[in-house]
Amino acid sequence: MSTSKQKIYWFCQLFGWSLLILVEYLAYVLESGFDPDALYLAIANIFLGITLTHLYRLMIRRWNWVRLPFFRLVPRVLLSVLVLAMIMTLVNIPIDRRLFPQYFIEEPWPTIGYLLTWGKNMLAWVLSYTAYHYVEENRNAEIERILLKTSIRETEAKVLRSQLNPHFVFNALNSIRALVYENPTKAQQGITQLSNLLRNSLLADRRKTVELREEIKTVEDYLALEKVRYEDRLTSRIELDNRTLFWQVPPMMLQTLVENAIKHGVSTAVGGGFVEVQSTIVADKLHITIRNTGVLGDKEASGGFGLANTAQRLELLYGPEATFQIFQEDDNIVCAEISIPTQSEGIFRREKVKNGEL
């Protein structure tokens, strides 16, 4: 319990019990006049009530009653109320019988009255305290479940970001190796491009999103390396709407899709082919289209890990508002389309979950 909650708790204890007992004492004074023994008894009952209810608090916290199912909690609460009322009754009856014998003419009704009175007081305290902590515990448990779910989803996203196809590294190294003696300048340029790709791949695990313009630079480096490998068999074109350059996209996502387009499309075509990347904004959503030469067969077989990776990453980061689809646009053209919602709808989705807004 925090310091502020402790202060509130003890204030409520002192104020609540003092108000309850002193009101009854004032009623007695108005009826029978001032009696110092009755005042001492009232003060003793204040401290006794605080002590008993505080012991109840320690008990339910020690045994975690508020985490019990409702049907198991209720009997324990009722039994506790009965025990607390009996203790107050057993302490007060002998003293009251000596101080106020006129109230004990008809037995056992005064005893039953004591049980009912103290039972009512204890029930009010116990129900208030238990209900508050029961609701708070359930609220905290729900928050923990949401945070745990969010953490799991974030971990999944990090795993997905790190599971990128490494084959392009080996292909790029072979391409650069062939240029070392033939064209050293181009080989140096290829090493720089490969270095950029490796750096971005390593950073992808640390960043949830990057600007589209940065992701496109990665794609350009990748295409440049593949151009060395495929030469005239590969042509590429990138057309970007200037409004989309600063939109946030998952890192290395487009590179993975372009890699799949070349691996399962261009490389299998007899005369080579093309890869085209376009971006635009439609209805306040970022739309990215990747078109390439190829024939779409079994998505799992032809798309490899990249397709499932893309769909999962978009869903984990942006929720159902983000979409990904791939289809056969023409006899020899495959088209992949990505739709990403506005940043207020997508990128802050995880923060909304943590704040309890979703």
Task: Annotate 214-225 with b (16+ C-beta within 10 A) or e (fewer).
Answer: bbbbbbbbbbbb
pTM for this predicted structure: 0.51
Query: Residues 171, 313: one domain?
Result: yes
Distance CA 60, CA 81 (A): 13
- Tell whether the torsion through CA atoms of 327, 322, 217 and 306 is positive or negative: negative
Domain boundary among 145, 160, 175: 160
Query: Residues 331, 245: one domain?
Result: yes
Residue 146 covered by a domain: yes
pLDDT in tens, the chain (358 residues): 567 778 888 888 888 888 888 888 788 778 777 878 888 888 888 898 889 998 988 888 888 777 778 788 888 888 988 998 899 888 888 888 777 776 666 555 577 888 888 888 898 888 888 888 777 777 777 777 777 666 656 655 555 554 445 666 776 777 788 778 778 888 888 888 888 777 777 666 677 788 999 999 989 988 988 888 888 899 999 999 999 999 999 888 898 889 888 888 888 888 889 999 999 999 889 999 999 998 887 454 344 445 777 787 788 788 888 899 999 998 899 999 999 997 644 444 444 434 444 4
Query: Residues 140, 188: one domain?
Result: no
Give the residue numbers spanning the domain of 248.
166-341
Domain boundary among 126, 160, 194: 160
Q: Are 261 and 312 in contact (CB under 8 A)?
A: no
What CATH number does residue 228 fall under?
3.30.565.10
Query: Residues 8, 37: one domain?
Result: yes
Quote the number of domains for the chain: 2
Residue 347 covered by a domain: no
Domain boundary among 137, 160, 183: 160
Residue 353 covered by a domain: no
Residue 324 covered by a domain: yes
Residue 350 covered by a domain: no
Beta bridge partners of 288: 279, 338
Query: Residues 117, 196: one domain?
Result: no
